[in-house]
Amino acid sequence: MDDKYPNQPNTSSNGLARAGTGVGRALLRRCPFCGAKHIFENWFTLKKQCPGCGSVFEPEDGYMLGSYVVNLGLTAVIGVLFAVSVVFGTDLSVIAVQIAAVVLVVGLPLFLYGYSQLFWICIDLVFNSTQKFDPAQAAGRAHHHHA
């Protein structure tokens, strides 16, 4: 890893430990590898590399497609919880429930998108070490890909 980055990524050899630590950091919108803050360009867009440890957040083309699946799954789960709580717990009018549902269905994926990308990385960390996200490794793969 490059010397210009102050942090070391989590090198634990235990996949579940790497992922668990990563999820805790992801919930705070911090780097899953080292816990650094300010890893987003804006609400939706991750920086290319972590300013703390230099890890590459998208180590290969199309890598973040999986985050859409995570996002859909989270939206579905929260949507079902919302539906159940409406059915059993409120006396809102039908129109109010419909408005709330639309806001939820449109707003949730937008709200969750950044988290979904970080959670997707955490799922990957169960199986792959942080080596995969090392910029030198990622550059090597890209080079071979285009050669």
Among candidate residues 109, 123, 117, the one with its CA nearest the CA of residue 45: 117
Kindly state the smallest distance separating residue 115's Cβ from Zn ion, in Å. 16
The residue type at 69: V
Candidates 15-23, 24-32, 102-110, 119-127: pick the segment binding Zn ion (CB under 5 A).
24-32
Position 34 contacts Zn ion (CB under 5 A) = yes
Kindly state the smallest distance separating residue 31's Cβ from Zn ion, in Å. 3
CA distance 142 to 147: 9
| Interaction pattern, residues 43-82, with Zn ion; x per rule: CB under 5 A | -------x-xx-----------------------------
Inter-residue contact 135 to 56 (CB < 8 Å): yes
Among candidate residues 16, 53, 49, 52, the one with its CA nearest the CA of residue 37: 52
List of residues contacting Zn ion (CB under 5 A): 31, 33-34, 36, 50, 52-53
